[in-house]
């Protein structure tokens, strides 16, 4: 009898591929193990076994595998099931899901680049002959492709050798794509152990009597450590004792103080005890009880808790219970970079049980996290991660928390699988029989709709922790202010007045300026020309700090031109305003204060976000200007005023979700104000003070926003009443894209009639020299989604078979917004 296996290859193939194996191999192999297999003319890939069977594929002759790469399954049965769900729901292939789901170090193939790990501590004794040969070769040349290694070692089966070297931490693979993530180190000081005896300390203070500044530092150090017994940062000591860095350095040089470094994220628990848990207040306790009650009968619960109501502490309680029952917990976050605050809070409570899955982790670190989760290790009880962490090999998931569930960053746009991690997490949770908690102050319309229609249970938390009031929200009519000449640049007199007042009281200010669609553009006053990107259909954006014009789509940039490139006139002006412009104006208005800016440009560096956030936390920045990034769950203690520079730029965005998103963004950014005792103030500058969304934000009326938006969605056939599938065609040949789009739209209309919209050019119709055209398919609630997808799939297959459209790429995006 012949034996076969089905293999999922990391390629966009419709089907699993069948290979032949020996009887012994068939007995050994289990679904989820890796095998090296030949594919195409001469390539080798790592694939995952999906089935072991005896059915000859018939259509082609099954080739034998090259090698078995695992002793135990690397991918669990639940993962295989989950991959197949993702592929069918999001209309992509399982190979694409596999690529997204496994660290690339697991997927060695002919083209994989292998490098020596920097600073590897290598015990040459422990290397086999082949491993040693490769190790030597890699010392001579910095990197090698697998196919070169095949030549070097003169054997076909080299993947196990490389896998073993990855495990021995000698080499890394595909490293150049990722930057190494290293937690930030901070400087701390303590009194040198020479002075732990009281007598020695008195002697020291006597000795320092002629150095009053240094003496002051020592006294301050005693003061702080007596109070809160925490490690003392150099920066804190310098601030509290008013001593210069030089003074502290000389104390270190004299061996009076001892300097040491800690990772920011770990400070609180390394070496120290775990922080005691807080006691929930009665509202939190009640919400927790309701959630737990609902979990007795329901699987998914939506926690609608206003900003600063203390949702995190409720999550902590639920996590604690889940792990004490021996279950794993997945805590999904929209973004890691902005949530170091939250991660240190979790690490405070749970110490080493928390593992973070970070998009900036290197390949090796990802492998480590993956192995820890797979092995259900002590170190991986609570997995905190961004959207891609839904693909980890959970063993026994008991709870999934989706924090800030309304965030659009849970959706992956490119490449496939184009999944929404919130929605997929629910399916994952159900597969594990886990409970799922969605939390937000401003739930996504769909989630609230599901709660409203009893698909999820709903728990409300309407009080801020400590009974802090929600900030007062005041609308400033800037049309009126312009008319009365009460504007200075983009600042109304009201905003200036309140900024001044806040700074006078030594409190902080946040100013929010949405960047989308509102970046400064250069325009000629004479002929109206504005410089365009040569590769994309957009105007270039002006960046004053380096005098550049840049394309935000493809990164094209050029130096600022002194004359109009069309007519030669020197009279150029900038239109629109971004964060940089706000910063320039603000510096002129408040020259004596420290102003910080947080946007894509200022947070590029490795610890860009953290630097700005901690500078603001430590009071080194008085006014922080920022984009959307500011809205993401940050917890600042001393912010009294939040200014929204221009609400209209959000409201006018051409997208059916613009109003919902504006409401969420404005309420979230408002939620950064007044999180301690004193009531905060939010000023919203707008040309449309009567706009219903602005009004709903100012009265914190989620219900009304929800009802109104829902009516519009119903009327215009949008989610949650209709599901959307967007089909994008793109290609370098303009007319091919056009004709292809017409063909495809016509075929779709034959089946779905008026529920097919387009084809239409998107607002930016050319990016990196490719033309784009969209078709939107709306699926009514009562129409079967799976049948619809089968029909769409067939139409696409026919389309791809048409020779003249071969150069046109088709991208299918399910739930695209
Ligand atoms: P949310 O996530 O709902 O916006 P947070 O969980 O960030 O709110 O809580 C807001 C603030 O209140 C945080 O600084 C948190 O430490 C504090 N807090 C919340 N609950 C408690 C509690 N039961 N005891 C002490 N402090 C709490
Ligand atoms: Zn001109
Ligand atoms: Zn461009």
Provide mean pLDDT across the span 411-426.
Answer: 95
Record the tokens describing residue 23, joined without a space.
């009887």
User: b or e along 581-616 (b: 16 or more beta carbons within 10 Å of the residue's beta carbon)?
Assistant: bbbebbeebbeeeebbbbbebbbeeebebbbbbbeb
In terms of pLDDT, which residue wins out, 347 or 652? 347
Pocket test for ligand 1, best of 284, 459, 465 (most atoms within 8 A of CB): 465
Residue 259 CA to residue 231 CA, distance in Å, equals 11
Sequence-distant (≥ 6) Cβ neighbours of residue 59 within 8 angstroms: none
What's the mean pLDDT in 185-206? Answer: 80
How far is the C-alpha of 148 from the C-alpha of 133, rounded, in Å? 13
Verify whether ligand 1 is closer than 6 Å to residue 317 (CB atom). Answer: no
Least confident of 62-71, 232-241, 572-581: 572-581
The rounded Å distance from CA 415 to ligand 3 centre is: 19
For ligand 1, is residue 352 a contact (CB within 6 Å)?
no
What is the pLDDT at residue 256?
Answer: 87
The pLDDT assigned to 229 comes to: 62
Residue, of 789 and 157, whose pLDDT is higher = 789
Mean pLDDT of 9-15: 91
Residue range 758-780: average pLDDT?
92
Q: Residue 575 has what pLDDT?
A: 74
**Per-residue model confidence (pLDDT) at position 228:** 61
Write out pLDDT tens, residues 620-666: 899 999 887 777 657 788 899 999 998 987 887 777 898 999 999 99
**Ligand lying nearest the CA atom of residue 670:** 1
pLDDT for position 265 = 39
Pairing of strands 572-575, 397-403: unpaired
- Residue 179: predicted pLDDT: 35
Tokens at residue 761, please?
């050019």
Cβ proximity of 732 and 807 under 8 Å: yes
Nearest CA-CA partner of 802 in 747, 755, 762, 759: 747
Ligand approaching nearest to the C-alpha of 403: 1
| 120 or 701, greater pLDDT | 701
Q: Can you tell me the mean pLDDT for 753-774?
A: 91
Q: Say which residues have a Cβ less than 8 Å from residue 209's Cβ, sequence separation at least 6.
A: 215
Position 142 confidence tier, pLDDT thresholds 50, 70, 90: confident
Instruction: Indicate the pTM of the whole model.
Output: 0.81
- Mean of per-residue pLDDT scores for the chain: 87
Look at 250-264, 307-321, 382-396, 407-421 and tell me which has the smallest mean pLDDT. Answer: 250-264
CA nearest to 292, candidates 323, 317, 257, 312: 317
- The neighbourhood of ligand 2, an ion, using CB within 5 A, equals 524, 526-527, 529, 564, 566-567, 569
Ligand nearest to the CA of 558: 3
pLDDT band at 603 (very low <50, low <70, confident <90, very high): low
Please choose, from the candidates 68, 67, 85, the residue with its C-alpha nearest in 3D space to the C-alpha of residue 33.
Answer: 68
CA 308 to chain centre: 21
Q: Cα(93)–Cα(91) distance, rounded to whole angstroms?
A: 7
pLDDT for 373 beyond 70: yes
pLDDT tens digit sequence for 262-311 = 654 333 334 345 666 788 999 999 999 999 999 999 999 999 999 889 99
With a 6 Å cutoff on the Cβ, whether 635 touches ligand 1 is yes
Which whole number is the average pLDDT over 158-185? 67
Can you read off the two tokens belonging to residue 389? Answer: 């962490």
* 5 and 52 Cβ atoms separated by less than 8 Å: yes
For 118, other C-beta atoms within 10 Å of its C-beta total 8
pLDDT at residue 781 greater than cutoff 50: yes
Closest CA to 46 of 88, 17, 87, 26: 17
Cα–Cα distance for residue pair 419/388, rounded to 1 Å: 10
pLDDT 10s digits, 511-550: 998 764 446 788 887 887 888 888 888 788 888 778 888 8
| % residues pLDDT > 70 (the chain) | 93
> Which pLDDT does position 472 carry in this prediction?
93
Of 368-382, 505-519, 584-598, 764-778, the poorest mean pLDDT is in 505-519
CA-closest residue to ligand 1 atom 19: 310
Q: What separation in Å is there between the alpha carbon of 732 and the centre of ligand 2?
A: 30
Mutation pick for ligand 1 pocket among 277, 286, 302, 312 (CB with most ligand atoms within 8 Å): 312
Counting ligands in written order, which one lies closest to the CA of residue 556?
Answer: 3
For the residues 664-674, what does the mean pLDDT come to?
A: 89
Higher pLDDT, residue 266 or 57: 57
Evaluate: CB of 674 within 6 angstroms of ligand 1: no
**pLDDT score at 491:** 94
């Amino acid at each position: 009898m012949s034996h076969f296996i089905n293999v999922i290859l990391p390629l966009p193939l419709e089907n699993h591929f069948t290979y032949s194996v020996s009887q012994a191999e068939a007995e050994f192999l289990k679904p989820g193990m890796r095998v090296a297999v030949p594919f195409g003319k001469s390539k080798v890939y790592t694939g995952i076994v999906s089935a072991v069977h005896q059915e000859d594929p018939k259509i082609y002759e099954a080739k034998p595998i090259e090698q078995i790469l695992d002793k135990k399954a690397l991918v669990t049965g639940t993962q295989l099931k989950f991959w197949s769900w993702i592929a069918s729901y999001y209309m992509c292939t399982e190979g694409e899901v596999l690529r997204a789901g496994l660290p690339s170090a697991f997927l060695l193939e002919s083209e994989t680049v292998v490098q020596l790990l920097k600073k590897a501590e290598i015990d040459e004794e422990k290397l086999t002959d082949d491993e040693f040969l490769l190790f030597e070769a890699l010392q001579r040349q910095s990197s090698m492709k697998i196919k070169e290694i095949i030549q070097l070692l003169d054997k076909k089966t080299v993947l196990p050798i490389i896998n073993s070297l990855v495990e021995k931490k000698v080499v890394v693979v595909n490293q150049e794509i990722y930057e190494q993530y290293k937690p930030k180190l901070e400087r701390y000081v303590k009194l040198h152990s020479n002075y732990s005896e009281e007598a020695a300390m008195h002697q020291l203070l006597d000795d320092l009597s002629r150095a009053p500044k240094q003496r002051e530092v020592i006294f301050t150090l005693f003061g702080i450590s007596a109070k809160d017994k925490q490690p003392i940062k150099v920066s804190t000591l310098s601030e509290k004792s008013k001593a210069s860095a030089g003074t502290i350095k000389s104390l270190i040089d004299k061996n009076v103080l001892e300097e040491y470094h800690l990772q920011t994220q770990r400070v609180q628990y390394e070496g120290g005890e775990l922080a005691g848990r807080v006691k929930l207040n009665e509202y939190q306790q009640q919400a927790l009880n309701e959630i737990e009650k609902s979990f007795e009968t329901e699987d998914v619960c939506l926690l609608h808790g206003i900003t600063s109501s203390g949702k995190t502490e409720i999550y902590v309680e639920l996590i604690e219970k889940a792990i004490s029952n021996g279950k794993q917990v997945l805590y999904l976050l929209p973004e890691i970079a902005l949530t170091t605050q939250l991660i240190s809070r979790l690490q405070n409570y749970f110490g080493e049980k928390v593992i973070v899955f970070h998009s900036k982790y290197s390949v090796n670190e990802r492998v480590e996290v993956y192995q820890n989760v797979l092995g259900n290790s002590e170190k991986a009880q609570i997995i905190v991660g961004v959207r891609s962490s839904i693909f980890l090999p959970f063993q026994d998931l008991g709870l999934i928390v989706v924090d800030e569930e309304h965030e659009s960053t849970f959706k992956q746009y490119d490449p496939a699988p184009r999944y929404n991690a919130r929605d997929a997490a629910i399916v994952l949770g159900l597969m594990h029989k886990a409970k799922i908690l969605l939390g937000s102050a401003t739930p996504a319309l769909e989630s609230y709709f599901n709660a409203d229609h009893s698909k999820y249970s709903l728990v409300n938390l309407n009080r801020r922790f400590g009974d802090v009031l929600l900030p007062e929200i005041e609308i400033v009519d800037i049309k009126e202010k312009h008319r009365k000449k009460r504007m200075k640049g983009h600042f109304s007199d009201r905003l200036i007045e309140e900024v001044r007042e806040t700074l006078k009281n030594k409190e902080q200010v946040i100013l929010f300026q949405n960047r989308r669609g509102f970046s400064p553009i250069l325009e000629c006053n004479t002929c109206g020309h504005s410089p365009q990107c040569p590769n994309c259909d957009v105007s270039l954006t002006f960046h004053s700090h380096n005098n550049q014009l840049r394309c935000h789509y493809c990164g094209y940039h050029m130096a600022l031109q002194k004359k109009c490139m069309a007519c030669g006139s020197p009279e150029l002006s900038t239109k629109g305003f971004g964060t940089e412009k706000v910063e320039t104006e603000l510096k002129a208005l408040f020259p004596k204060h420290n102003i910080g800016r947080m946007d894509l440009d200022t947070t590029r560096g490795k610890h860009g976000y953290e630097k700005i956030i901690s500078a603001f936390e430590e009071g080194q920045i008085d006014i922080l200007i920022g984009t959307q990034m500011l809205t993401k769950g940050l917890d600042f203690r001393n912010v009294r005023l939040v200014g929204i520079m221009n609400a209209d730029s959000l409201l006018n965005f051409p997208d059916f979700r613009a109003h919902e998103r504006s409401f969420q963004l404005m309420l979230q950014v408002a939620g950064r104000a007044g999180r301690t005792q004193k009531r905060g103030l939010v000023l919203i500058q707008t040309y449309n003070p009567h706009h219903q969304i602005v009004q709903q934000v100012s009265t914190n009326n989620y219900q009304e926003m929800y009802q109104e938006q829902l009516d519009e969605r119903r009327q215009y056939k949008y989610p949650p009443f209709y599901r959307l599938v967007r089909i994008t065609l793109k290609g370098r040949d303009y007319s091919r894209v056009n004709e292809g789009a017409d063909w495809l739209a016509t075929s779709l209309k034959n089946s779905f009639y008026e529920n097919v919209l387009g084809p239409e050019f998107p607002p930016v119709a050319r990016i990196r020299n490719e033309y784009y055209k969209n078709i939107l398919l709306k699926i009514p609630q009562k129409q079967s989604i799976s049948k619809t997808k089968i029909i769409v799939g067939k139409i696409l297959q026919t389309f791809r078979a048409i020779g003249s459209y071969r150069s046109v790429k088709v991208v299918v995006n399910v739930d695209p917004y």
